[in-house]
Amino acid sequence: MTGSSDARAARGARPLGPGEALALLESSGALLSGHFRLSSGDHSGRYVQCARATEDPLRAERLGAGIAALFADAPAGARAEAVAAPARGGVVIGHEVARALGVRFLFAEREGEALSFRRGFALRAGERVLLVEDVLTTGGSVSEVRRLVESAGATAVGVGAIVDRAGGAFQPGIPVRTLLALAIDRYAPASCPLCARGVPLAKPGSRPGPGSNA
């Protein structure tokens, strides 16, 4: 599948500046304000619901091509041969990044608390894999996927995402590139000023309860 990957990677994978990425999110209603419980259990006054942006296939394709373009300068020995993402948040955008790169896509699903590759997904020893997520906060989910990738003998070559809301705090030792960085406050529940003001709490994410966030 990688024989003509250079030609496929060039197709539609042009850079996407932070201003354009922000406009795509804002125009889709993906940036929410209120009082939210994050997957980590922390609270925040803002939330990025990237599913609102990727529900439009053309917008999703544009965002995916933009992430792919962030890795266009990777040397030949570090170019992705596959894309892997955690379900559910990374599935749509991961698929679109793989489409832009011209490589295959696989995703990991939770069985109980742990992520695993199911549905016959498998990696080859030495295969180079780009990890993709919609929003990075703690990096917990993509770190889990990385462990799966490396336990299969494959190599994680980078992490791509639409939004970094961690302020660059996630430093896994491989390249991390995102279309947009947003400084979003987060609070422990016991010291949350929104709770103190009685603002109603919402849980908008895709996971049912506290755990490691993206």
DSSP code per residue over 108-166: EEEETTEEEE-TT----TT-EEEEEEEEESS-HHHHHHHHHHHHTT-EEEEEEEEEE-S
Residue 202 domain flag = no
Reported confidence tier of residue 213, pLDDT bands at 50, 70, 90: very low
Residue 211 domain flag = no
3-state secondary structure 2-66: CCCHHHHHHCCCCCCCHHHHHHHHHHHCCEEEEEEECCCCCEEEEEECHHHHHCCHHHHHHHHHH
Question: What are the distances in angstroms from CA 198 to CA 10, 47, 205?
Answer: 50, 18, 21
The strand pair at 82-86 and 104-111 is best described as parallel
Residue 36 domain flag = yes
Please provide residue 205's backbone torsions phi and psi, each rounded to the nearest 5 degrees.
-75, -175
pTM for the model stands at: 0.82
Residue 100 domain flag = yes
Helix (H) or strand (E) holding 187: none
Residue 212 domain flag = no
Residue 210 domain flag = no
* Residue pLDDT, tens place only, 29-58: 998 889 999 877 889 998 889 999 999 999
* Residue pLDDT, tens place only, 157-181: 999 999 998 888 889 999 999 999 9
Q: Residue 77 maps to which CATH number?
A: 3.40.50.2020
Residue 206 domain flag = no
Domain that holds residue 120: 5-196
In the chain, the number of structural domains is 1
Residue 214 domain flag = no
Reported confidence tier of residue 7, pLDDT bands at 50, 70, 90: very low
